[in-house]
Amino acid sequence: MERRKFIRFRTQDNAFAALRGDFTKVGKICDISLNGLAFRYLAEQMLEEEYAHVDIFLSENGFHLHHVPCGIIYHVKESSSNSISISWYRCGLSFKPLKKEVQNKLDYFLDNHTISTVLANLEK
């Protein structure tokens, strides 16, 4: 049964997330909501550090939402990964309480840079 409180949206192909710190975990956003996001990235190993902030950006139009407070909810190696040295990982983040300015930019992103809703039974 779906336990999410917020509708998730698919993003445009040019939407990315980068975990703050050394920015070694950058990947395409799979879905996003008012409460968090999931993204996929390629790496040699699963991230082991704790991250407290994420950046959300578009590769084409200059949109960049800096330093969004978050926590990691899940982090898994995707079963479709078949390379020995580099694998796909999926990371789910939950947003922490947002300042009004950050919330407004997130609302703008959801209104202008998403393409459809995600059906609850299709994805984690």
Tokens linked to 30 = 């799979």
Task: State whether the Cα torsion 102-6-27-62 is positive or negative.
Answer: negative
Query: pTM for this one?
Result: 0.85
Q: Is 44 helix (H, G, I), strand (E, B) or coil?
A: coil
Domains of the chain: 13-115 (2.40.10.220)
51 pLDDT band, cuts 50/70/90, is confident
Fill in the amino acid letter for 105: K
State pLDDT tens for residues 93-110: 999 999 999 999 999 999
Higher pLDDT, 44 or 28: 28
Task: State whether the Cα torsion 21-23-24-28 is positive or negative.
Answer: positive
The total of other beta-carbon atoms located within 10 Å of residue 31's CB is: 20
Q: Considering the chain, what is the average pLDDT of its residues?
A: 86
Give Cα 50 distance to the centre of its chain.
Answer: 15
Q: Is 107 helix (H, G, I), strand (E, B) or coil?
A: helix
pLDDT over 70 for what percent of the chain? 85
Per-residue pLDDT averaged across 56-74, rounded? 92
Residue given tokens 């699963």 in the structure block: 46
Give, in order, the Cα–Cα distances in Å from 80 to each of 76, 83, 84, 86, 90: 11, 9, 12, 12, 11
